[in-house]
Structure 1
Amino acid sequence: MSTVAPYAKLPSYVGTQIGPSEWIEVTQERIDTFADAADDHQWIHDPERAKEGPFGAPIAHGFLTLSLLIPLQTAVFDIDGATTKVNYGLDKVRFISPVTVGSRIRLVGTIAEVAEVPGGYQLALDATIEIEGGAKPAVVARSLQRFYA
């Protein structure tokens, strides 16, 4: 389900649920690419070495899973009339469950707050990245974004 909010009406969207997004697979290729970009080659991300680890398989970096929040959100929520969209930050991020290679994840969220800021709006999204078939989510976070017209 996708929501498109008119820029001028953004404050009226507080309490609105967005998503769920489509499921996306977290592949070993994605994990390896992120490891190269972040220079984080810890053994728990390696297909061979991680077999003997606590998760029995390689896992995605927590920050890789968190970074997927933006494309997942963009797929299910947009603001009509915003010319500039900026990630402003995060509040209270928790990595609840590891995402093993081959898992599929999706986003569900609730617009928690919309506040006026000079020249635009700041939106706080209470976001949950779920793991398909998982008892607990991968990530819960409050994402802060700013939108300008």
Structure 2
Amino acid sequence: MRTFTTLDEVAEAAGQEVGTSEWLAVDQERVDRFADATDDHQWIHVDQERAAQGPFGGTIAHGFLTLSLLPHFAAEVFRLETPGARLNYGLDKVRFPAPVPVGARLRSHVRFGEVTDLPSGKQLVVHHTVEIEGPDGQVQDKPACVAAHVVLLLP
């Protein structure tokens, strides 16, 4: 776990690998709760019987479920204890290269990207590459998600 207490420390880490989160299991209960929260009950996510006959051989997690786990993964890798507010500004280029089968585990490799000076503070881009360990224990070649999370750091 890396802790950053000043905006200068954050800027000095630009371009650096910050760390890798712990593995997190994706079970059917989590997928079903996400489906309920988002009203996305597409059969490939929630109908285990039908999904077993579908293109993935079973249910898969929603891409947005994987994306929603980025704050969890980030909190396992680094802490921003800078003096001012930290605001979620958005996302740049989000992709879901591979499906996440229910029963898999995920973890994120985290890298700090660009740190840009703004009149109000700094803008930090946090790059996530979310890796999949399948139910068979094998780490897949393609990631579940690649995303750049943009954070505003106010002094």
* Deviations 1:110-140 (CA, angstroms, capped at 9, x unpaired): 1111112333221111210000211110001
> Helix, strand or coil: the match of 1:15?
coil
Contact 1:5–1:13 (CA under 8 A) maintained in structure 2: no
> Helix, strand or coil: the match of 2:22?
coil
Match of 2:130 in 1: 129
Greater shift, 129-138 or 4-13, is seen at 4-13
Paired amino acid for 1:115? T
Provide the TM-score with structure 1 as the length reference: 0.93
Unaligned runs of 5+ in 2: 134-138
**Identity over the aligned pairs, expressed in percent?**
48
Unaligned runs of 5+ in 1: none
**Deviation of residue 83 (structure 1)?**
4.0
Match of 1:7 in 2: 6
Q: State the alpha-carbon separation in 1 of the partners of residues 38 and 83 from structure 2.
A: 31
Paired amino acid for 1:78? R
**Deviation of residue 93 (structure 1)?**
0.7
Match of 2:136 in 1: none
Contact 1:93–1:141 (CA under 8 A) maintained in structure 2: yes
Contact 1:15–1:111 (CA under 8 A) maintained in structure 2: yes
**Deviation of residue 146 (structure 1)?**
1.4
Match of 1:33 in 2: 33
Match of 2:58 in 1: 57
Contact 1:51–1:57 (CA under 8 A) maintained in structure 2: yes
Match of 2:154 in 1: 148
Match of 2:44 in 1: 44
**Deviation of residue 49 (structure 1)?**
1.6
Provide the TM-score with structure 2 as the length reference: 0.90
**Deviation of residue 84 (structure 1)?**
2.2
* Deviations 1:6-65 (CA, angstroms, capped at 9, x unpaired): 223221110111221000001111101110111000000122221111000100000000
